[in-house]
Amino acid sequence: MTGEGRAALALDDGGVTDAGAGLEGGASSSVGVGVGVGVGSGPRQTRRSTNTVTLTDVAQHARVSPQTVSRSIRSPELVSEFTLERVRNSIAETGYVPNLAASNLASNRSMTVAAVIPAVSASVFADALHGLEEVLSPAGYQLFIGSTDYRPSHEEELVRALLGRRPDGIFIVGTKHSPNTTHLLRESRVPVVEAWDLTDDPIDSVVGFSNRDAISALVQFAVTRGYAHPTFAGSFQTGDFRAIARRGAFEDSVRELYPGEPIRVVDSGTATVDFETGRRLLDETLTTYPETDVLMFASDVFAAGAVLECARRGIRIPGDIAITGFGDFEISRHLVPTLTTVAVPNRQIGTIAGELLLARMTHRPVENSELDLGFSVVARESA
């Protein structure tokens, strides 16, 4: 360890008080609107604490009615060229920033979409969010993100809080929710897209693929390649219904396709999805089920950790043991050996969900609101 950067923490109580914000910047600001300073005669002093510029201020400055300013912003085609010009100048000169909370309240549209995901830092969901944003942002919608950390109890609380913001649409990962969550979402009358899995009983719309079928296909693949002793490894924490579905699919498939073969599953419990856990899962597999000839991981991340560990230990893949992953992350086609896995349309889940929501929110007809985006088994060197 060379070079250690300076560090200087220290928060919470101390001497220096909050400063900084009150700098009263450049030339273009502050109309002469003397509100907020008890002007004397009025029946009661106004409540405006922050002396921000309002639509009315802009209207006065441009010598038009507030409504005209509102129109200039929301539907400029209804306003004459001349007036529009004046209003625009006033907006620039006053530094007006519309208060969307007020707009939301008055118009009953928030121009937001709420996204409920298990974890922001999981790249698969980040990809989907990216896709969502890509579609919604140009249409003027903003994304509200909440993460559940795979805790169903937290999900309900979160959904409740997000609904409080009156989003125009909701994107939620997973198709299994608590009864209350489902009820809340149904009652909200807001377009909802459930993602990442399929279900017979959607709240509204679904965009995903069958986690069960994907694993079945992978087991089928193992059969075709002649592997005799498959083991499944992953972390199956209570709230991660997709991982649990995959595990169930593995068990069923093995029963069906490997009659007589014992069902081997290695579970890391609540461990995070990272390379380290992949190594540990490999380790546990090798000691617990040394007969394993194909080790199927519930995520490419685990698989990658295992592949790297094998490289370190000199275990040959697929010679000594074959390895498969799930997700087709970018790393998988760069590993040595490259990783056999299941490709899943992460990004596309986001974009398609976004388009679906957009159609719903603008009351455009939607042909199909239960979309199976499919998956594909990607055969590479590791199996």
Partner DNA sequence: TAGGCTTATGTTAGCGCTGCCATCATCATC
Partner DNA sequence: GATGATGATGGCAGCGCTAACATAAGCCTA
Residues of this chain that bind DNA (CB under 7 A): 35, 42-48, 50, 52, 54-56, 63-68, 70-71, 73-74, 78-80, 82-83, 96, 98-99, 102-103, 105-108
Span of 119-127, 229-237, 240-248, 289-297 interacting with its own copies by CB under 8 A = 119-127
Q: Is 320 in the site for its own copies (CB under 8 A)?
A: no
CB of 174 to DNA, least distance (A): 28
Query: Residue 80 or 137: which CB sits closer to DNA?
Result: 80
Minimal distance, residue 293 CB to its own copies, in Å? 18
* Contact flag: residue 32 with its own copies (CB under 8 A): no
List the one residue from 63, 183, 255, 316 that touches its own copies (CB under 8 A). 183
Rounded-to-integer distance, Cα 160 and Cα 127, Å: 25
268 near 235, Cβ under 8 Å? yes
By CB under 8 A, name the one of 119, 257, 265, 271 that touches its own copies: 119
Q: Is 3 in the site for its own copies (CB under 8 A)?
A: yes
Contact between 155 and its own copies by CB under 8 A: the answer reads: no
Site track for its own copies across 201-220, x = CB under 8 A: -xxxx---xx--xx-xxx-x
Q: How far is the CB of 175 from its own copies (least distance, A)?
A: 14
Give the number of other Cβ atoms within 10 Å of residue 288's Cβ.
12
Work out whether 315 is an interface residue with its own copies (CB under 8 A).
no
Nearest Cα to Cα of residue 195 among 9, 17, 3, 372:
372
Tokens of 337: 């050996």
Output 94 or 268, the one with its CB closest to DNA.
94
Structure tokens at 263: 């069902």
User: For tokens 């390895």, what's the residue?
Assistant: 323
The binder of its own copies chosen from 224, 238, 270, 288 (CB under 8 A): 224
CB of residue 268 vs DNA: minimum separation in angstroms?
A: 44
Contacting residue, 166, 265, 284, 293, with its own copies by CB under 8 A? 166
Site membership for its own copies, residue 133 (CB under 8 A)? yes
Residue 76 CB, nearest distance to DNA (Å)? 10
Dihedral angle computed from the Cα positions of residues 372, 347, 275 and 280, in that order, rounded to the nearest 10 degrees: -10
CA distances from 356 to 133, 199, 268, 381 (A): 13, 17, 36, 37
Task: Name the strands in the sheet holding 294-297, side by side, starting at the edge strand that comes first in the sequence.
Answer: 264-267, 230-234, 294-297, 322-324
Least CB distance from residue 187 to its own copies, whole Å?
6
User: What's the min distance (Å) between Cβ of 294 and its own copies?
Assistant: 14
Q: Is 312 exposed, middle or buried (0-12, 13-18, 19+ CB in 10 A)?
A: exposed
Backbone dihedral angles phi then psi of residue 302, each to the nearest 5 degrees: -60, -50
Radius of gyration of the chain (CA): 28
For the window 337-376, what string marks contact with its own copies as x by the rule CB under 8 A? Answer: ---------------x--xx--xx--xxxxxxx-xxxxxx
Residue located via tokens 């069906």: 256
The reply to whether 232 sits near its own copies by the rule CB under 8 A is no
Extract the runs of DSSP E, i.e. beta strands, from 126-238.
142-147, 169-173, 192-195, 205-208, 230-234
Residue type, 36: G
